[in-house]
Chain A
Amino acid sequence: DAGITQSPRHKVTETGTPVTLRCHQTENHRYMYWYRQDPGHGLRLIHYSYGVKDTDKGEVSDGYSVSRSKTEDFLLTLESATSSQTSVYFCAISESRDSGNEQFFGPGTRLTVL
């Protein structure tokens, strides 16, 4: 299994509070991704990173920011959480941007915003 951990694994928070989710990898892969999984939507890309300090927006980036100061860590921040951000968040990594390159997924973080 690829070495990907996510923390916390579960979190309950209140509307308006800031939340940071962490993804940590031990594979030294260049590319890292944040997805959210919601019933009826599958997984949707929030942000991705193609190197240290290099990030870009995905399909559903509004209300989220990311940072990558080290190869191994990719942080997802909700500056002011809303109930619509209740979801399961998955981090993924890949070695290259080659279209055949596999993405490996972390175990997920279940976030509930009350």
Chain B
Amino acid sequence: GNSVTQMEGPVTLSEEAFLTINCTYTATGYPSLFWYVQYPGEGLQLLLKATKADDKGSNKGFEATYRKETTSFHLEKGSVQVSDSAVYFCALLSGGGADGLTFGKGTHLIIQP
């Protein structure tokens, strides 16, 4: 079956630090990959996505590249801000089986001023 593995944290960084959150996946076929962000007390918002190998998704300074050879989709940002504090979820969607997203467990990111 499908699965997503990501570091759970909490990950604590200082403002302006470089961020990497690792995500690896197992899936049948050729999934699409997503990063969602959840701010405190809110639902999930799509941060970025990539639908095929070597695609790079980017948004709000965040980037992730779909690496089929390493089955990875690591999230990066060059300089984080306090406002980036949130929970980040890596997820995949594949054509086989149920149509729902398969999520990782989430990474709680805390940015200190």
Contact = CB atoms under 8 A, between A and B. Distances in A.
Interface of A: 31, 33, 35, 40-45, 48, 50, 56-59, 90, 92, 97, 99-108
Interface of B: 4, 8, 30-32, 34, 36, 42-46, 49, 51, 89, 93-95, 98-101, 103-106
Contacts of A40: 8, 105
A90 B44 contact: yes
Secondary structure at the B interface, as helix, strand, loop or mixed, is loop
B43 A58 contact: no
Nearest to A104: B46
A69 B75 CA distance: 40
Contacts of B42: 107-108
A41 to B, nearest CB: 6
Contacts of A58: 98, 100
15 contacts: A33-B100, A35-B101, A42-B4, A42-B105, A43-B89, A48-B98, A56-B98, A90-B44, A92-B101, A97-B95, A99-B94, A103-B46, A105-B45, A107-B43, A108-B42
A33 B44 CA distance: 13
Contacts of B93: 99-101, 103
Given A90-B43, A90-B44, A99-B94, A44 B103 contact: yes
B101 A45 contact: yes
A43 to B, nearest CB: 5
